[in-house]
């Protein structure tokens, strides 16, 4: 009896939400798109966890490269919009990583904590029924800090910058026997932006306490901050769920104010994908 009541409640919940005019999400059946479901209400979300190789370099802290391990978390949301005849898709991608690295003589270590958020649009170019290309632009915001365990004068370095990126994707649906796979390759190239960076030898105490912050914001482009982010994913159905495996190659670097920095990451990630459908009822005044 209890099981029947729970089942009935779960079946009635979407209907109650519709009657109340409340937005909610429901799991989208596999055949939903083939029976008239609006693509603009279709949302794909994925949460991935990964580990890989990190290489960080910051001449504000040390003239040496630091190499070690990278732990990373990412969350992505994608959906189609109504713009341009329904061919414009919206992507939101957030990732955070923590790195623990050491220099080549093994006498010093560095912690890095970095976060990145991309938000933008792609125009979809269907090539065949199972293959399409996407092209567009993203707002790219990055921030974080590095901490050197042996430095006493300037032990930390702050990273803060934003860019406008050119972005492209290729999405390919294939079958291996009777097993369906969705493969995707994405590349983001920052074209221009702004970066916070102290001058060589300038302390953060001088910037934030004494107010000597002239010249700490810098215009960046391909000439002084050539960076690239690439990601390859494969979506694998596992019973009634969907698993995603991914490889991320992240190259962020800069040369401003007499300082050089880079953060390279090679990360393998795995997680789950949810296909959702946004239900929206009529709002009563």
pTM of the model: 0.82
**Pair of tokens at residue 179:** 């097993």
Cβ proximity of 198 and 208 under 8 Å: no
Longest dimension (CA), the chain: 73
Question: Within 10 Å of residue 33's Cβ, how many Cβ atoms?
Answer: 14
Alpha-carbon distances, residue 226 vs 11, 40, 70 (angstroms): 52, 35, 21
pLDDT in tens, 97-150: 999 999 998 889 999 999 999 999 999 999 999 999 999 999 999 999 999 998
pLDDT in tens, 137-148: 999 999 999 999
> What is the four-CA torsion angle of 45, 266, 122, 33, rounded to 10 degrees?
-30
Give the Cα-Cα-Cα angle 274, 119, 114 (nearest 5 degrees): 90
How far does CA 167 lie from the centroid of its chain?
Answer: 13
Q: How many residues does the chain have?
A: 285
Contacts of 177 (CB under 8 A, 6+ apart): none
Q: What is the pLDDT along the chain (285 residues), one digit of tens a residue?
A: 444 344 344 444 443 343 333 333 343 444 444 444 566 667 899 999 999 999 999 999 999 999 999 999 999 999 999 899 889 999 999 999 999 999 998 889 999 999 999 999 999 999 999 999 999 999 999 999 999 998 777 899 999 999 999 999 999 999 988 889 999 999 999 999 999 999 988 889 899 888 888 899 999 999 999 999 999 999 999 888 899 999 999 999 999 999 999 999 999 999 999 988 766 654 444
Alpha-carbon distances, residue 248 vs 67, 68, 186 (angstroms): 17, 16, 10
**Helix then strand then coil, % of the chain, to nearest 5:** 10, 65, 25
Question: Within 10 Å of residue 30's Cβ, how many Cβ atoms?
Answer: 11
Closest among 47, 100, 43, 87 to 244, alpha carbons compared: 47
């Amino acid at each position: 009896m209890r099981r029947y009541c729970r089942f009935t409640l779960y079946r009635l919940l979407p209907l109650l939400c519709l009657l109340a005019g409340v937005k909610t999400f429901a799991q989208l059946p596999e055949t939903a798109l083939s029976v008239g479901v609006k693509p603009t209400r279709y949302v794909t979300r994925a949460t991935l966890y990964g580990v890989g190789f990190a290489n960080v370099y910051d001449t504000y802290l040390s003239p040496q490269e630091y190499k070690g391990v990278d732990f990373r978390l990412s969350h992505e949301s994608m959906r189609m919009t109504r713009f341009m005849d329904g061919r414009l898709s919206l992507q939101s991608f957030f990732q955070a990583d923590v790195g623990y690295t050491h220099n080549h003589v093994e006498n010093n270590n560095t912690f890095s904590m970095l976060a990145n958020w991309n938000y933008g649009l792609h125009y979809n170019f269907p090539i065949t029924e199972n293959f399409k290309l996407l092209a567009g632009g993203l707002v790219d915001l990055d921030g974080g800090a590095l901490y050197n365990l042996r430095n006493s004068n300037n032990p930390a370095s702050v990273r803060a910058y934003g860019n406008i990126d050119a972005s492209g994707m290729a999405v390919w649906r294939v079958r291996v026997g009777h097993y369906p796979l969705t493969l995707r390759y994405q590349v983001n190239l920052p074209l221009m932006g702004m970066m916070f960076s102290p001058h060589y030898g300038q302390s953060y105490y001088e910037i934030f306490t004494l107010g000597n912050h002239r010249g700490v914001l810098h215009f960046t482009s391909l000439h002084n901050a050539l960076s690239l982010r690439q990601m390859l994913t494969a979506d694998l159905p596992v019973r009634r769920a969907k698993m995603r495996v991914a490889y991320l190659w992240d190259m962020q670097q800069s040369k401003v104010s007499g300082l050089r920095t880079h953060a390279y990451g090679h990360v393998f990630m795995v997680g789950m994908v949810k296909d959702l459908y946004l239900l929206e009822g009529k709002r009563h005044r």
